[in-house]
Amino acid sequence: MEVGFLGLGIMGKAMSLNLLRHGFKVTVWNRTLSKCDELVQHGASIGETPAAVVKKCKYTIAILSDPPAALSVVFDKDGILEQINNEKGYIDMSTVDADTSSKISEAITSRGGRFLEAPVSGSKKPAEDGQLVILAAGNKALYDEVLPAFDVLGKKSFFLGEVGNGAKMKLVVNMTMGSMMNAFAEGIMLAGKSGLNPQNLLDVLDLGAMSNPMFKLKGPTILQKNYTPAFPLKHQQKDMRLALALGDENAVPMPVAAAANEAFKKARSLGLGDLDFSAVFETLKPIGPSSS
Ligand SMILES: NC(=O)C1=CN([C@@H]2O[C@H](COP(=O)(O)OP(=O)(O)OC[C@H]3O[C@@H](n4cnc5c(N)ncnc54)[C@H](OP(=O)(O)O)[C@@H]3O)[C@@H](O)[C@H]2O)C=CC1
Ligand SMILES: O=CCCC(=O)O
């Protein structure tokens, strides 16, 4: 199968390499075009613009940072709309809100194209290992046709119905994750400041009902102050913001998520946005000369 791939950030690079490893023909595009070079070394072709990729490929996948980026590759000059037609399918795997996804869907389908939103749960390592969880919604026939690609990228794909449901599911999942990360960071800080060994806390948590892959992975790296980005903090804060807006629309009180969002915003204001989202731990450190 030949696919186009737009966006070679942390996720897109790992996912497109995975497709190449499994024998897919992949034509890549990235806003910063030089990032395509590594993929070319692994057998990819380059498309000079999103429109050029769509012209060449029956199916085009994108995974881009946020709603403005997702809209830009569709609507701007040299964008997807210039080449979409009734023989093409567009699959957006970015984490965006349902409104953004619907705007894209309407524009694609009004030109005869088919659209699927398919955000993913799982980070850099699951993307490298083909272990993502895919949350698709939109055109079911397109979903069935691209399942061979989803089977390479993920360990499980869900088809959730109409456009918007994939985006909403992803935001609910990431809202929960962001709140958990803040509680975890506070626990580690409290353990240390109250004279406990934080490593003991990790061991205790891991033996009980709260044991989970995120605590297992991020606990040791937080203790090492290693915030090499797998999931950039700025994207986690974007997801909290979008999830809180979904809470507004549905009159769901979300005081825990709102507090977590404030912590991620504070982290961004401290210049930590490009680090891993676990760097929110750094916002708990006392400011000023006294560290008592
Ligand atoms: N990292 C993770 O663990 C996960 C991330 N996600 C989601 O996947 C998406 C991508 O994440 P990730 O790969 O980590 O992000 P990165 O920040 O590593 O990459 C972002 C990508 O978007 C591109 N981009 C940004 N702005 C624009 C724009 N205006 N026009 C065109 N392209 C643009 C960047 O291009 P350029 O190189 O030129 O800057 C880059 O290719 C996000 O929506 C994120 O929330 C979902 C699951 C896990
Ligand atoms: O959107 C990012 C999700 C990261 C993860 O699921 O570990």
Span 221-233, pLDDT tens digits: 999 999 999 999 9
Contact in structure between 238 and 95 (CB atoms under 8 Å) = yes
Which residue out of 8, 15, 65 has the highest number of ligand 1 atoms within 8 Å of its CB and is therefore the one to mutate?
65
State the sign of the Cα–Cα–Cα–Cα dihedral 94, 97, 98, 102: negative
- Categorize the per-residue pLDDT at 289 as very low, low, confident or very high, splitting at 50, 70 and 90: low
Q: What is the dihedral of CA 285, 125, 135, 44, to 10 degrees?
A: 130
Which atom of ligand 1 lies nearest, measured to the CA of 32?
A: 38
pLDDT beyond 70 at 169: yes
Whether residue 258 is predicted with pLDDT greater than 90 in this model: the reply is yes
Q: Is 258 helix (H, G, I), strand (E, B) or coil?
A: helix
Across residues 73-81, what is the average pLDDT? 98
Residue 181 CA, chain-centre distance (Å), reads 16
Amino acid at 98: A
Mean pLDDT of the chain: 97
| pLDDT over 60 (residue 88) | yes
Closest ligand 2 atom to Cα of 119: 1
The whole-number pLDDT of residue 213 equals: 97
CATH T-level assignment (fold) for domain 2-161: Rossmann fold (3.40.50)
Residue 229 structure tokens: 């980005």
- Tell me the ipTM for this assembly: 0.99
pLDDT, average across residues 214-242: 98
Are the C-beta atoms of 239 and 208 separated by less than 8 Å?
A: no
pTM given for the model = 0.97
- What pLDDT does 287 receive? 67
Domain 168-291: CATH architecture, name and number where available: Orthogonal Bundle (1.10)
Q: What is the pLDDT of residues 184-198, one digit of tens each?
A: 999 999 999 999 999
Give the HSE-up count for residue 54: Cα atoms under 13 Å, Cβ half-sphere. Answer: 25
Pure H helices in 207-254? 213-223, 233-249
pLDDT at 291: 45
> Where residue 179 falls among pLDDT bands split at 50, 70, 90?
very high
Residue 292 pLDDT > 50: no
Query: Is there an atom of ligand 2 within 6 Å of 123 CB?
Result: yes
> To the nearest 5 percent, what fractions of the chain are helix, strand and coil?
55, 15, 30
Pinpoint the residues of the chain covered by CATH 3.40.50.720.
Answer: 2-161
Q: Which amino acid is at 68?
A: P
pLDDT, tens only, 100-127: 999 999 999 999 999 999 999 999 999 9
- Is the pLDDT confidence value at 240 over 60? yes
Report yes or no: 169 and 159 within 8 Å, Cβ to Cβ.
Answer: no
* Ligand 1 center from residue 194 Cα (angstroms): 39
231 lines ligand 1 (CB under 6 A): yes
Structure tokens at 11: 């996720």
Q: Reply yes or no on whether the pLDDT at 288 is more than 70.
A: no
Q: Is the CB of 95 under 6 A from ligand 2?
A: yes
Percent of the chain with pLDDT over 70: 98
CB atoms within 10 A of CB 110: 10
DSSP line for 46-106: E-SSHHHHHHH-SEEEE--SSHHHHHHHHHSTT-GGGT--TT-EEEE-S---HHHHHHHHH
Check residue 285 and report its DSSP letter.
Answer: S
What pLDDT is recorded for position 285? 87
Ligand 1 centroid vs 9 CA: distance in angstroms? Answer: 5
121 — phi, psi (to 5°)?
A: -105, 145
Q: Which residues are catalytic?
A: 170
What pLDDT score does 286 carry? 73
- What is the location of CATH 1.10.1040.10 in the chain? 168-291
Determine the distance separating the centroid of ligand 1 and the alpha carbon of 65, expressed in angstroms.
3
